[in-house]
Amino acid sequence: MGKRMLTSWLVLAMLSIAPGGLAIAQAIPPAASGAAADADPSADTQPGAAAHTQPETAADANGQALTPTAQWTPPDLSALTAHSAPELLVLKVAQEELGYVEGPLTDESKYGEWFCSDRCAWCAEFLTWCVDQVDQRYGLALLENLYPRYGGPSTGVPFFIDKGRFISDNGKLPTNEKEWLIGCEHYLAANEYIPHVGDYIWFYYYNRTVGTDHVAIVEGVSVAENGAVTIHVIEGNNPDRVQRAVYDLADQRIYGFGTPVKRAYCNLRLYNRCDDVLCIQQALADQGYYDMEPGQEGIFTQALAEAVKCVQRDLHLKATGILDMETHAAMEAADILPLLLPG
């Protein structure tokens, strides 16, 4: 892995989806003073790092202006309660840890000690510790349900994929399945998804096909004078402490995002396995298209593929057995699948 206050009038206006299908910055009143003065300069996009294309302007991409980067300040989450959004509670704990420094030995941290009683590169362990703190403080059970109990590289993304809550920066899952945002009528393009406050964000530094090398939590999003979208994060182990950093949305090192709220679907086909497959199985079983197969819950079996083909024929679609965006929309319109609203 890489080294690297709210008053009583707090309004948590949750992220919305603009007509273009993209996420808009969450409206949380900022802290009373100061910008992210301790942001890590080394985390800024380096020359040549923004290799992907991106929308011409933030307004074009979202249909609504984002906070200018020069005016962005961290959200004040001091008035949150156990009934607040879980991702904001996790972010609140992360904010409280700003300034923590490992040591005296390299990779020696309280997060690693808590997770595995040993020294380790601790960016993931830091976030997992934050989630555990929320569970302990508020009597919740987020770990292993909403968030993974994980440390080390490449093990966090699979959890979110299994839950149907991972969004790739290039619009395709590691299995190459294309994604689309809920309420959107086109597949995601590279860098189209603008993260929400509280999302996990992963980076890879060496080989994308191998997996991830670093993880952080999104604290906010803003737009620079040139229209580039800036992601503000809190991250551990950068290089030896917990601190703020900023990244360009088009930074080629970004791997993708883990969302605490479901915001996207992906194409589903034979042998895929995830919670979304289980939802499809249950929906088609309820409609008489499919008989549940014991031990195959959440697995896209040949029988499920045949059931999808049958549905496609009934809906006058090409019978491919692949539950793609067109099929998913048609099944929603026919009340075969529940209609989820953007959120």
What average pLDDT does the segment 237-244 reach? 95
Angle at 101 between CA 97 and CA 103, to 5 degrees: 135
Residue type for position 76: D
- Residue written as token pair 């917990």: 242
Does the residue 21 lie in any domain? no
Q: What is the residue range of 305's domain?
A: 267-333
CA–CA distance, 180 with 325 (Å, rounded to integer): 7
CA–CA distance, 32 with 223 (Å, rounded to integer): 20
- Say if strands 243-248 and 254-258 run parallel, antiparallel, or are unpaired: unpaired
- Final residue before a domain boundary, out of 264, 287, 315: 264
Does the residue 292 lie in any domain? yes
With contact defined as beta carbons under 8 Å apart, do 248 and 51 qualify? no
- Final residue before a domain boundary, out of 235, 264, 293: 264
- Sign of the Cα torsion 23, 24, 28, 30 reads positive
Does the residue 17 lie in any domain? no
CA–CA distance, 213 with 207 (Å, rounded to integer): 9
Task: Work out how many domains the chain is built from and give that number.
Answer: 2
Does the residue 29 lie in any domain? no
Secondary structure percentages of the chain, helix, strand, coil, to 5? 25, 15, 60
Does residue 22 surpass a pLDDT of 80?
no
| 61 and 91, same domain (yes or no) | yes
What average pLDDT does the segment 79-87 reach? 95
Q: For 180-217, write each residue's pLDDT tens digit.
A: 999 899 999 999 999 999 999 999 998 888 889 999 99
| 294 and 259, same domain (yes or no) | no
| 165 and 288, same domain (yes or no) | no
Q: How confident is the model at residue 51 (pLDDT cuts 50, 70, 90)?
A: very low
Q: How confident is the model at residue 342 (pLDDT cuts 50, 70, 90)?
A: low
CA–CA distance, 287 with 294 (Å, rounded to integer): 18
| 250 and 280, same domain (yes or no) | no
| 157 and 293, same domain (yes or no) | no
Task: Average the pLDDT over each of 2-11, 208-217, 251-260, 306-315 and give the range with the smallest value.
Answer: 2-11
- Residue 210: predicted pLDDT: 84
